[in-house]
A = this chain, B = another copy of it.
Amino acid sequence: MRTLIIVAHPELASSGTQQFLRRGAELVAADWQPLSTDFNVATEQVKLRAAERIIWQFPLYWYSAPAILKAWQDQVLTSKFVLHEQGLAGKELGIVVTTDTKASDYQSGAAEQFTLAELLRPYQALANKAGLHWLPPFVINQFRYQTESQQQALLIAYQQYLTLPQPATFTQRQHWFAQQLQQMITNATGERKTQLVLVEQQLAAKQDELEELRWTIEQMRGDD
């Protein structure tokens, strides 16, 4: 999966959230592309053509992306490229959006009145017009209030969002995790390697248990 992440943040260097996500993106070899105001339209179109999954990643400013992304869209996504040449057709479009607001505020009757699904309609309409397959947006609410373990879980979910079929099934996510663990074991040494192998064995044992339970359920159903 060739994933291109277009990061639109006016103060990227000082954003803890973005720097945190960046490490996650690098671990799964996604193409991390911060947007600046001087881009070359032809170069951008070449990068888009090479990608299979395109991600627009940004903090929500007044209910949409910072102006820097709109300027890029207005200039790079020409009618010729998008409509006549169908330069984006068949690819996937994902949105990674960070907000300082709690999730429950985005609903009718709450502080923000609208859901994020409604607020992101302009991007969905663009995907529709361009023949892009629209992925369920990946929303990060109030990152800085999350505990360290919540943030680690978020990082894994983010890496899966960049690389797995979306929406991913439980089995796909489990398989992905097993692969990542295998790679960590390969790269680890000494005591850390021993620990990771123990984790792997525990997971394998749980997996056996799960399959046994599934088999039992099937047998019971067969008896009916």
**A residues engaging B (CB < 8 A)?**
10, 61-67, 70-71, 73-74, 77, 112-114, 118-119, 121-126, 128-129
Contacts and interface: CB of A to CB of B under 8 A. Distances in A.
B73 A70 contact: no
Count of this chain's copies in the oligomeric assembly:
2
A113 B128 CA distance: 8
9 pairs of A and B residues whose beta carbons are closest in the complex? A63-B122, A67-B71, A67-B70, A63-B125, A70-B70, A64-B122, A113-B128, A118-B121, A62-B73
Contact of A66 (B64, B70, B125): B70
A173 B199 CA distance: 75
A112 B129 contact: yes
A122 B119 contact: yes
19 contacts: A61-B70, A61-B74, A62-B73, A62-B77, A62-B126, A63-B123, A63-B126, A64-B64, A65-B70, A67-B73, A112-B125, A112-B128, A113-B124, A113-B125, A114-B121, A118-B121, A119-B121, A119-B125, A122-B122
A10 B114 CA distance: 30
Contacts of A118: 118, 121
A125 B122 CA distance: 14
A106 to B, nearest CB: 9
A83 to B, nearest CB: 12
Given A112-B128, A125-B119, A128-B112, A74 B67 contact: yes
